[in-house]
Structure 1
């Protein structure tokens, strides 16, 4: 970092990506102002609280509080800023396309910010968005301001580490000076820089997540076939992953992927293809397999219990993955909705989840300990592989359940041990 210029950076959006980006840039020594339009969120951040659960993020924000400012005010955000980062949400619209309304709101707000050197979009956007933003900046008298796409590749639960030690830093820009400026901004980050054109950079994010989703859906299909043939998917995945051409990552069978990226980005890529008149057959199958995987869990319980009407089912874990409080596109939402539709009573446990005050969650019961959710249950589903579930006294839990039926949707527990404790134990792809 010796000799590296300290930059003034404006970050628009105080969500997962905006907060991690801003905090990490401050950690690298830059001065950062983070703006959001949600007063409650900004008030929390100003008071030293972090509105999301992300390991290490709170400590990093506290450590860099002299270089970090949180505001609702546009002028304060842009005052002296050299680089403006756009980190706003781009959720699916009714048509399936990305809703870019928040992005365009930020772009419009930059009119008059002639002191900026670069505008950087970190939000996930359709390929071609950068060209439209470039035209809008030109029309606003900001033709001299550089533009770059700098997609994020951080996984929730390890986002801080992923930012500081990434597999790659992708920078898409039409001019070398802007690309060099953004690369310099990341000085101190332990990862290679890949510079390319804007459209390719926009495609990298969508293609990466689609490929990871494909690996998960593929191993889930193999898991189903293993159940039909008596093979063990865990052994199959372990041996397949030893092939250096394939690797072990994302070859974990389960009840399907969720979260803020895989579902949204897979659908966005499929919609992008449809808009060009091309049908992504493989990706469509990947999405279908994932949708069916959750429903297969419900069917397994129905096959075992005969009916779910009047049954009490415990959902163990609600977030889409451990180490986060994120409920976006979590498989638990589909499971809870389907169980309620089948006439079941649903009890839930999760150490971090904050479900919305809407259906299906308003019709479920929440408990502070997994043992409480299991008491009186006819069946349970391990939805999220929280490590706390390995510490449960399962022998005692079997005695408190009406029927000790357990579907391990993450293959977290040992089949032989659970059966020895009296459980009717089912998992994904294991005999």
Structure 2
């Protein structure tokens, strides 16, 4: 694949790898190049790994320099830093302002960062359903005052524009967000959303000493967009819609994928072509649907061999029908759908049991309703007591801030 891309670009000699193992061998060789123990990362021993060895490779600790036959033990197990005497080096540098400051054209600052349950670009964490339960879609987070000034509503759409690019994201509002800044998570790519990756909006300025990009202070402007319709698409495959004027985000579920859809443009008068593209049903699939244009509601499902292949629920904004729960909808991909259950299928409840609650603790799968009930029923007064009772917050600790919020909210509600 890389070799083909290189040839098309006219750089065949620079993209000569034919397999992933070939890429890894060069990566390993570069880690050892002119190293001589001066850099901690050295996996030169893996530079000659063949295809079979790469396919069978297990996790290992580095450094593993050329000639090593076994791991050298845990790096920095005794503390210290990778300097000759093991002591840290503090390098004083002069203050440098922002590469580009906000102005009348771009009055806000874009701050990018990570969320607690995702890692890098979600190539692994994005495949795990429970890690997407806490934040299933990327959002642009505004302070309440900025949201009011822009006319932005939670769950609406926001167009962000910087001197380097533009995108459209869902809106979130958080009292803890600083005025004048917009926070957007870094993880979502084109594989998971129509708005990724957010770094397309970030400038190319880097620190002259460390090389660290200026990822947290790009001037931009924001504009709230109208929401014309919303939808949910359940599919067995990781489909990627290419519809203009539509924002989408995809999260994995147990047997497939759930996509949230938001339209900034009205639904077309002839809706069938859009539905066909989104459902992407295989030839011969059985299809059922209910349409109620007067209420602004359309529901479709395709089945193959008695099992749900895809479902599409569309609702005009402001319509009376509403959309089913995404958590309940995910259960529709499990098992066969009997003939008598098919009307319920289009209601989004044919096979769904009690809707799943939103996860707070991803490590132990403890949901928000369970935590709230335990706080009140057992009169829990601290995060430590929640941990002792439910396990939540006792492993990685990422959910501790939300546990504190749940404690405060539950106690305030009880007092009222």
Q: What TM-score bracket applies, with the shorter chain setting the length?
A: under 0.3
Q: Rg: which structure is higher?
A: 2
Higher normalized contact order (CA 8 Å, seq sep 6+, divided by chain length): 1
Normalization by structure 1: what TM-score? Answer: 0.23
Structure (1 or 2) with the greater strand fraction = 2
Normalization by structure 2: what TM-score? Answer: 0.24
Structure (1 or 2) with the greater helix fraction = 1
